[in-house]
Amino acid sequence: MIPAPFLLYLGHSTDFIGIKTSRGLAAFRPDDCVGEFRHDDCPLTLGLPRMTIAQGAAAGAKTLVLGIANSGGTLGRDLVDDAVAGLGAGMHIAAGLHHRLRDEPQLAALAKAKGLQLFDVRDPPADLRVGTGYARAGHRLLTVGTDCSVGKMYATLALTQGLRRRGIVADFRATGQTGILIAGGGIPIDAVVADFISGGIEQLAPERNDDGWDLIEGQGSLFHPSFAGVSTGLLHGAQPEALVLCHDPARTHMRGIPGRALPDLEECLSANLHVARLTSPAVRAVGVCLNTSSLDADAARALCARFEDRLGLPCTDPMAFGVEPILDELLCLEPSARGTTASR
Amino acid sequence: MIPAPFLLYLGHSTDFIGIKTSRGLAAFRPDDCVGEFRHDDCPLTLGLPRMTIAQGAAAGAKTLVLGIANSGGTLGRDLVDDAVAGLGAGMHIAAGLHHRLRDEPQLAALAKAKGLQLFDVRDPPADLRVGTGYARAGHRLLTVGTDCSVGKMYATLALTQGLRRRGIVADFRATGQTGILIAGGGIPIDAVVADFISGGIEQLAPERNDDGWDLIEGQGSLFHPSFAGVSTGLLHGAQPEALVLCHDPARTHMRGIPGRALPDLEECLSANLHVARLTSPAVRAVGVCLNTSSLDADAARALCARFEDRLGLPCTDPMAFGVEPILDELLCLEPSARGTTASR
């Protein structure tokens, strides 16, 4: 486990989506975050006290979390310099980039000299097996998206908390760096060797017989030309009983691919159900989650109502309006359908 | 480059498909293969002289190729022992397993002591980028399959050779261990980190403006629950102008997954075209390749004719009947100008 509390790193970021790991920790583990570190050219804030590296350490932060994500997961010079400063102030360093902290000789040497740890959250387990697609017991829900970074993790966490509030056993299964930092465990599915995508998810959410739910964090999108392979393997490995589609109505193009339009929601949902049926023939959609943070409340509610009409499914913003309608849809299964599912 | 000639390893294999790397080298680089090594319990042969490790070395083999594939790519004790013997006889060792030769301390130490090399063909390049899906110039064909190991590499090599015989510039782009050993280069796409599947293929078959063709070796199947993520990223990265569907009519279930039926060919072709359209909207199917080695010639021709009728595409066994009808379709030649290979 990564020692808390954390100093959350924003660095030079100017991209609200790019700081999603720091933001996720601030949102879901607020009591473990003492402050945020950002350079003067960073216009973003998490609403936490702004601290220098030294101030963060003095405030009790045990770990500096480099909670920023960039496409390709590279570790730039500025990140290395700031990580050196963090180690110098006596903090462990955590990051979830493809480029590993431990592969940076300066960081590896300094951490060793100071008796501090480098946590590479995107390290997959070494003992993964290939998936089989064989039917396994248990209730599983997977979030899918029209694009990357549209709120799949938030929706999954909100659904997990919602089920628990109803007295139902529910576990969040993290598949990305932010989710893993929040949950304290998981498999960074975009970092596993390609042959093991579905197998990794079968391992992350194995058979369960307690009538509880695994809520699996989706990644990427079937319609994203960079990452659809990951999304496909995730669908097959998850073998989901239920899908929730996530979407950001403010997104003007696929993340990182200017000029590429987002898919239509019906088409996206249909494609996800089609792919999921390979290993879960009875899969069904139970709701749509929108990230309406760019809209006022009235416009947000109107948009949710419009998608409900169009798709015939409950539609909500999990952060603004909660997830109760989706939980109702999820749990109000026909008796016959429930029996079929449980016997799988 | 891996020093030829080779001693081809069959080991204890009893599975004809599992020895496909050794078999592929014997078929496509026969002049570079001095013999085959197999234990007494191995009922298989490549038709090469059977040799002990020492006899292979004495016959001039420079490299012992552990050309067997198993699901998951593990390196068992028997393989390690035989590799030790190979090094002891003065040969380099090549393999394409997920489990690396160099990660086996005994092999690493012995190779170093004897000044010999360990070639891990499944090592992906270190500098991969994520894919973009942006349209790029060039003619590209991708083979896809109803299952793993149904002849995609053979078909791709045969199509490459066929185009060259017609005076057209054509390059085979290898994506698997066998193809890489045959071609002397490529990207082992099932071994890249999951985020880089499509990007790896964009790098393997970049923009080209010489009116030549890249013929890209497909992997897995959209309908294989273990590997469909790889196949999906491959389709998106290849951005193919043309698809060729490969199928083994003798296959009774998806490879490694007893009980799971193969997809219907129409459904499989339709799904591949659908996925490919994300990055190549004008993609079209140009043919079907069957592996009819389990049938007599009359039955094979009848089966090809039946699939031609059903799918409205040229259908052939590339090894038995050549690929001329598919090349005609690919190059949009008038039927009158078409050669006749398989009788209809």
Model confidence pLDDT, tens digit, residues B194-237: 999 999 999 999 999 999 999 999 999 999 999 999 999 999 99
Q: Smallest CA–CA separation between A59 and chain B, in Å?
A: 37
Stretches where chain B sits below pLDDT 50 are 335-336, 338-344
| Cβ <8 Å between B278 and A191 | no
**Residues A199, B226: contact at Cβ < 8 Å?**
yes
Please answer yes or no on whether A226 and B98 come within 8 Å at the CB atom: no
Query: Which residues of A fall within a CB distance of 8 Å from B198?
Result: 225-229
Separation CA A20–CA B258 (nearest Å): 42
Cβ–Cβ under 8 Å, residues B341 and B324: yes
List chain B residues with CB under 8 Å of A233: 194, 228-230, 232
Nearest to A195 among B191, B199, B222 (CB): B191
Return the exposure string of B102-113: e unless at least 16 CB atoms fall within 10 Å of the residue's CB, then b. eebeebeebbee
B11-63 pLDDT per residue, tens: 999 988 889 899 999 999 999 999 999 999 999 999 999 999 999 999 999 99
Rounded Cα–Cα distance for residues A255 and A145 (Å): 12
Predicted confidence at residue A94, as pLDDT, reads 95
Vertex B219, ends B215 and B223: CA angle to 5°?
A: 125
Taking an 8 Å cut-off on Cβ atoms, the answer to whether A229 and B72 are in contact is no
What is the rounded CA–CA span in Å between residue A171 and residue A157?
A: 9
Instruction: Please check whether residue B273 is in contact with residue B243, taking contact to mean a CB–CB distance below 8 angstroms.
Output: yes
Q: Return the residue in B100, B128, B130, B270 with the most chain A beta carbons within 10 A, the one to mutate for interface testing.
A: B130
Tokens of B14: 């009893």
ipTM of the complex: 0.87
Q: What is the largest CA-CA distance in chain A?
A: 62
Residue contact B233–A229, C-beta within 8 A: yes
Instruction: Find, in chain A, the residue whose alpha carbon is nearest to that of B256.
Output: A132
User: Chain A contacts of B232, Cβ < 8 Å?
Assistant: 222, 228-229, 231-233
Largest Cα–Cα distance of chain B, in whole Å? 64
**Alpha helices, H only, chain A:** 20-28, 53-58, 77-88, 105-114, 152-165, 177-183, 197-204, 228-238, 265-276, 297-311, 318-321, 324-331, 335-342
Contact pairs from chain A to chain B, CB under 8 Å = 136
The DSSP H or E segment spanning B230 is: helix B228-238
Residues 6+ apart with CB under 8 A from A92: A2, A3, A62, A63, A64, A111, A116, A117, A118, A119
Question: How many beta carbons lie within 10 A of that of residue B316, not counting itself?
Answer: 27
Q: A53 vs A11, A267, A281, B32, CA distance in Å?
A: 11, 47, 52, 61
* Rg, C-alpha atoms of chain B: 20
A281, amino acid identity: P
CB spacing of B256 vs A130 below 8 angstroms: yes
Q: What is the spatial distance between Cα B190 and Cα B98, in angstroms, rounded to a whole number?
A: 9
Tokens (6 digits) for A67: 């909670």
**For chain A, first and last CA: distance in Å?**
34
The CA R_g of chain A, rounded to the nearest whole Å, is 20
All residues of chain B having their beta carbon less than 8 Å from the beta carbon of residue A256 are 130, 132
Domains and CATH numbers, chain B: 6-120 (3.40.50.720), 139-337 (3.40.50.300)
Confidence at residue B20, expressed as pLDDT on a 0 to 100 scale: 87
Q: In this predicted structure, what is the pLDDT of residue A44?
A: 95
pLDDT at residue A17, as a whole number: 82
- Per the CB < 8 A criterion, the answer to whether B101 and B75 are in contact is yes
Residue with tokens 């500098």: B127
Please tell me the distance from the alpha carbon of residue A193 to that of residue A197, in angstroms, as a whole number.
7
Regions of chain A short of the pLDDT cut 70: 70-73, 333-344
Q: Quick check: A130 and B226 CB within 8 A? A: yes
CA angle B216, B231, A263 (to 5 degrees): 110
Tell me which chain A residues have a C-beta less than 8 angstroms from the C-beta of B258: none
